[in-house]
Amino acid sequence: MDEYALMTYYVRYLKEIRKVSDSTVKHYQEALRYISKRLVEKGKLQQTVYEIQELSELEMIRTYLYNDPGFVALDKRGHQMYSAGFNNYYKFASGQGFSNIHQQIGVMDIEVPVAEKQTYTMEVWKRSAIIKIQSIESAGYQCEIDPKHNTFTAKSTGHPYMEGHHALPMKHQDKFSKSLDIYANIICLCPICHRLLHYGVESEKENVLNKIYYDRSVRLAASGIKISKTDFKKLVV
């Protein structure tokens, strides 16, 4: 599998969920390869657009491209092939098209190599904000513990405010040979359920953890994360 998990996820999304033809997928990929090469030459990327993990950074790249006279001219000669390729990937990255695919998103469950660690003020495992946004979108902005849980409307999305939660915490990545920053491991939760899992007493978390394990254990296994219920609870309490 390619080093950049988002590329593999993107291709799988196009083929398995959107049912895009192989030829169209090839055109999208060729457009992004050229754009990546151009951005590397301009010093904006190291290797590829797939290395970008923050949507805000992807938006800056988009603004830069569309204000680059050379790119605009090339895109015009290519009948907007390059901008179409980038726009389609941006829609994927921002979660557009993920609405109501919760029953289908399991096809995205594949083994993903562990990403490198990054050091800020403390050492943490690198994670993708894009995958978290997509997971919330795919759940229809409903709490996966109880869809009836209400919350406020988020200013940024216009949808009920929800949060993405790693069922198996990223701090335990050292215990696994495959990445924990995957669709199967990210749960869409209302703020109350999210805080319950982080700060609640064990007796009140019991039923919630049972539900998460039974809902996600098969998908986690498909992603290379095979874990018993007992071991799962040891890592999340």
Average pLDDT over residues 221-235: 96
pLDDT tens-place string over residues 64-89:
999 999 999 999 999 999 999 999 99
pLDDT band at 97 (very low <50, low <70, confident <90, very high): confident
DSSP character at residue 140: T
Q: Which of 166, 98, 93 is nearest to 131 (CA)?
A: 93
Residue 120, pLDDT above cutoff 70: no
What pTM did the predictor assign? Answer: 0.74
At 119, the pLDDT band (50, 70, 90 cuts) reads: low
Question: Going by C-beta distance under 8 Å and a sequence separation of 6 or more, which residues neighbour residue 62?
Answer: 86, 90
